Amino acid sequence: MRGRKVVAVTLVTLAACSGTALAIELNPLESLGKKIFFDRGLSSPPGQACAACHAPQVGFTGPKPGINKRLAVYPGAIHRRFGNRKPPAAAYAGDSPPFSLDPATGLFSGGMFWDGRATGEVTGDPLADQAMGPFLNPVEQNMADMAAVCEEIAASSYAGLFEQVWGDGALDCGAARVEETYRNIARSIAAYERSAEVNPFSSKFDAYLEGKVRLSREEEWGMELFNGKAQCAACHPAPLFTDFTYDNLGVPRNPDNPFYRMDSVYLDDGTPINPLGEDWVDPGLGGFLATRPEYAALAAENLGKHKVPTLRNVALAPGRGFTKAYMHNGVFKSLEEVVHFYNTRDVAAWPPPEVAVNVNVDELGDLGLTAREEKALVAFLATLSDGYTAPKRR
């Protein structure tokens, strides 16, 4: 089990974090973060907010079924520019600890982004560190610099709220203060992303834990499989359904990833977004570790690993037939496909892994699940969607 701690979902209580889909009142800091999160003016050209890639109706991940189905990776404010990975969920991420190495297990954990590079070293909070990135990323919101973001907020309708939260004069965009102002912008977003509006714990599973509803036979069977035969809880323990570690699952490359075509799309300085084109291979965690002297020696043994995502809202969609993309590169388009891959990766005709080293062979690949067991697992995963309303008794 490579040092992982397994927590059975049936043994977890949520007394401290149970919530409902009823009206949630945000405090001033959370309200400020929400306004920034949904502000479409904080991009160049204007039009792309954080919510463009992290929308509530799908669990704060990519909301456009056409992009999910065809590409999975979302375009930036300049629509011909694409990054390399699909948007991770912004919900249920706030408990991720700062990036670190556990010397006892040899496992890295914490941090934000798929590769952990938002470590928490800048603001003391990985979630806030992550929020600092997209505004200035030329393949995302493409703002010129921290001052440009600050000046847009200073001209916004919520500038007064910013100073109410952070103090008179806190919205200072001058060279001497703009870095701290920018950090407070990011901390505000992180506060919203930690709020009960983003993390309501209002799924059927939560109602079940509170004794308000019973799971169906199939859902309960799926939960038993999740904890046992399918080994899902090894990496996705309740209540957050992630252990914040990193894994190479042997996922195939996504041939439709637009990043492969970014060798012919250029940044303002004349360099191509992806000089390697079709030859690019996602190094995952190993790529980030290679940039850090204290971890560089461990880069090779972590190539291809990506952060374990939460399974909360993994099935959440606004309606039937809505396509979501799964895995770091969006190669799979349904939970049924994901579960079947976990079950049969090593015994069926799947494409080869994008990164063939460091593949987890202990907890997936040949699980021996039947088709009915796969279906039950999917049914249980659907109980993790927020917004559940128990049927009224007659």
**Is residue 9 over pLDDT 70?**
no
Give the distance, in angstroms, between the CA of residue 393 and the centroid of all CA atoms in the same chain: 37
What is the residue type of 257?
N
**Is residue 10 over pLDDT 70?**
no
Dihedral sign of CA atoms 7, 200, 14, 30 in order = positive
Q: What pLDDT, on a 0 to 100 scale, did the predictor assign at position 6? A: 41
Which among 99, 187, 173 is positioned nearest to 143, based on CA atoms? 173
Which among 188, 185, 201, 156 is positioned nearest to 310, based on CA atoms? 201
Q: Quick: pLDDT tens for 252-285.
A: 999 999 999 999 999 999 999 999 999 999 999 9
Q: What pLDDT, on a 0 to 100 scale, did the predictor assign at position 392? A: 74
Q: Quick: pLDDT tens for 66-113.
A: 999 999 999 999 999 999 999 999 999 999 999 999 999 999 999 999
Q: Quick: pLDDT tens for 185-217.
A: 999 999 999 999 999 999 999 999 999 999 999
Q: What pLDDT, on a 0 to 100 scale, did the predictor assign at position 2? A: 54
Q: Quick: pLDDT tens for 128-140.
A: 999 999 999 999 9
Give the end-to-end CA distance of the chain in Å, rounded to a whole number: 47
Q: What is the DSSP string of 212-238?
A: S----HHHHHHHHHHHTTT-GGGTS-T
**Is residue 18 over pLDDT 90?**
no
Q: What pLDDT, on a 0 to 100 scale, did the predictor assign at position 23? A: 62
- What are the φ/ψ torsions at residue 272 (nearest 5 degrees)? -70, 150
**Is residue 390 over pLDDT 90?**
no
Q: What pLDDT, on a 0 to 100 scale, did the predictor assign at position 17? A: 38
Q: What is the share, in percent, of the chain residues with pLDDT greater than 90? A: 93
- The Cβ of residue 157 has, within 10 Å, a number of other Cβ atoms equal to 8
Better-predicted residue by pLDDT, 224 or 21:
224
